Amino acid sequence: MLSYRHAFHAGNHADVLKHTVVVQLLRYLNQKDKPYWYIDTHAGAGAYSLKEGYATKTAEFETGIAKLWKRTDLPSAVSDYVDEVAALNADGELHFYPGSPYLAWRLLRTQDRLRLFELHSTEIEVLRHNFRDAGRRAMLYDGDGFNGVKALLPPATRRALMLVDPSFEDKRDYASTLTCIEASLQRFATGMYAIWYPQVARPESQRFPEQLKRLQERNWLHVALTVSRPPEDGFGLFGSGMFIINPPYTLAATMKETLPWLVKTLGVDETAQFRIEYRGD
């Protein structure tokens, strides 16, 4: 929705899961010299202040990155992610939080390319400002990423990671995500696709993972982190999930090590739990 601003939620428990996974996907792609593209359908502003503005109104980062910031017992995958957040906070204090585009920019090599979509009129201007020095390596698109990615696939490199993470405040985003991924797979079957979704008290959210599984019979990974029981009033985020199509073969084992620790560290009540499902080639 055009009223949505991710800054309200920056650094929360859902961002921890999403960005831990995204960092692992990018690090895996970096293992080969061949270039790749990072494509983001809903890029947001790229980076966020945690000390002023929208983030201070909800302080959701206290449910996520703030709980990890000073820990010395981080699992390897979480440590990789926190290191990237720390790179944006040179003085060691948690002032800023990197969105997915900034994390990707940090990890991309000179031969790799960034392709970012953002529909919100204010967010795209902030995104442009944040990437004002990126040059031709990063291309920003003012528009609907669900439809815009069609013109980018398949990329010339034949290697790409595409992140699809709309706000899902509009329930039509669930169907739009499924349509987008189905069409993308027809154009570029070997691409890596990472889909984030919220755990909320909405039927569209509850059936979404099973719908994602039907997009491709094999070679997918589904991970989810639930931090609390659903709110009694039926509103609010109590967990999230990541569904990866054509994932690295190493990622399932990595998440099996990581998710129990995240449940213990970010869980709010006794219902906190994780889920992991994997279907290989």
**Catalytic one of 165, 170, 173, 233:** 165
Q: Which string of DSSP letters, residue by residue, matches 73-138?
A: ---HHHHHHHHHHHTT-TTSS--EEE-HHHHHHHH--TT-EEEEEE--HHHHHHHHHHTTT-GGGE
1 lies in some domain = no
Q: H helices of 168-250, where? A: 172-187, 203-213
Answer yes or no: are the C-beta atoms of 222 and 279 closer than 8 Å: no
Phi, then psi, of 97 in degrees rounded to 5: -125, 130
In a domain, 258, yes or no: yes
Full domain range(s) for residue 225: 6-279
What is the per-residue pLDDT across 201-230, written as a single tens digit (0 to 9) for each? 999 999 999 999 999 999 999 999 999 999
Q: What is the domain-level CATH number for residue 89?
A: 3.40.50.150
Task: Please report whether residue 247 resides in a domain.
Answer: yes
Residue 134 belongs to some domain of the structure: yes
Assess whether pLDDT exceeds 90 at residue 58: no
Nearest CA-CA partner of 199 in 243, 142, 255: 243
Residue 165 known to be catalytic: yes
Whether pTM exceeds 0.85: yes
State the residue for tokens 């909320």.
Answer: 200
Total number of domains constituting the chain? 1
For residue 203, being part of any structural domain is answered with: yes
Radius of gyration of the CA atoms of the chain, in A? 17
Is residue 189 packed enough to be buried (19+ CB in 10 Å), middle (13-18) or exposed (0-12)? exposed
Query: If you ran DSSP here, which 8-state letter would residue 229 be given?
Result: P
For 110-158, what is each residue's pLDDT tens digit? Answer: 999 999 999 988 899 999 999 999 898 999 999 999 999 999 999 999 9
